[in-house]
Amino acid sequence: MPTFLVDPGWPEKLANNWVTGVVSVVAVDRRDQVWILHRFRTVPADRKDRTAPPVLEFDANGKFVQGWGGPSDAYEWPASEHGITVDYKDNVWIGGNGSGDDILLKFTTQGKFVLQFGHRGQSGGNKDTKNVNRPADVFVHAKTDEALVADG
């Protein structure tokens, strides 16, 4: 059985004295960069002015690289951030598990919006081919370039 130890120095302090809310997921990409998705709406009221963007990237040593994401007029951001995946082409996929989170978002690693699948509150259930239902995780199969989505 492996033994794990907490490294109190990882990650380094966030830029701008930012704070995070509830961290919903941590992922590691093919370059060993660490991606954290947090629920920015859960930051306590007395710290709201220091809220970090929902997507945070760190290098393997814990050095902060960048932060981005959140609501925009260009796409529908999840009500409750849940999953983050960085695929073999370095696309960042984000899904939510909140009520009406029937969307899946795709970005570049720099946070540029690429594509939205589905729309908020529009899932028609298991037979719906246009909307997901609270997408929990995504895996992109390199051989076929297909995105496989685990949803609610």
Whichever domain contains 99, its CATH number is 2.120.10.30
Q: Output the tens digit of pLDDT for each of the chain's 152 residues.
A: 999 888 888 888 898 999 999 999 999 999 999 999 999 999 999 999 999 999 999 999 999 999 999 999 999 999 999 999 999 999 999 999 999 999 999 999 999 999 999 999 999 988 888 999 999 899 999 999 999 999 76
141 within some domain: yes
3 within some domain: no
As a whole number of angstroms, the distance between CA 51 and CA 60 comes to: 23
What number of other Cβ atoms are within 10 A of residue 49's Cβ?
Answer: 9
20 within some domain: yes
Looking at the DSSP assignment, which residues form a beta bridge with residue 91? 108
2 within some domain: no
46 within some domain: yes
H/E stretch holding 138: strand 137-141
Residue 44: φ, ψ to 5°: -55, 150
* Tally of structural domains, the chain: 1
100 within some domain: yes
Residue 111: φ, ψ to 5°: 90, 10
pTM: 0.93
Tell me the residue range of the domain where 59 lies: 15-150
6 within some domain: no
1 within some domain: no
